[in-house]
Amino acid sequence: MIHRRILVSSCLAGIPCRYNGKAKTNPEILEAVERNEAIALCAEELGNLPTPRPPAEIVGGDGQAVLDGLAAVIDINGEDVSNQFIDGAQKVVAVIQREGITEAILQDRSPSCGCGRIYDGTHSGKLVEGDGVLAALLKRRGVTVSGSSAL
């Protein structure tokens, strides 16, 4: 049971916003949003990426490296969508700062929300250590971030 107001990935709250147009609903998170104990946001949609959208992965590092301009978020068609990922992450941070939220539960492995492990940038399903762009920016702002597998 969640006892504080937190940020959650929208897809975990049942909102069909993932790259494939689907949700990855977690019943506990959905209930927390319904009780106004959690706020659901999708950085990729806030960055004006469409749903559905081509899958994207971080190439050359992780979210920290993307924020530092040392890596890029590239979709499966070869398009650099780093700016959209960064813009969306910044919009999420603006909302949670306004709301006083200091904790987040994010979707595992995502190039935006991944916490601790993300896909390696080859679209082969291989995982590497690192955070997605949103997770990295939240950590830089002092937010406690955990992946959905921690539930």
Summarize pLDDT for 38-79 with one digit per residue, the tens.
999 999 999 999 999 999 999 999 999 999 999 999 999 999
- 89 belongs to a structural domain: yes
- 1 belongs to a structural domain: no
Return the pLDDT at 151.
74
Domains contained in the chain, number: 1
- Choose among 135, 2, 132, 1: nearest CA to 57: 132
Q: What is the DSSP letter of 56?
A: E
- 42 belongs to a structural domain: yes
- 50 belongs to a structural domain: yes
- 115 belongs to a structural domain: yes
Summarize pLDDT for 33-49 with one digit per residue, the tens.
999 999 999 999 999 99
For the chain, the average pLDDT equals 96
- With a CB cutoff of 8 Å and minimum separation 6, the contacts of 13 are 23, 25, 26, 29, 30, 33, 38, 40
- pTM of the predicted model, to two decimals? 0.95
Q: Which domain holds residue 91?
A: 6-147
Q: What is the DSSP letter of 34?
A: H
- 15 belongs to a structural domain: yes
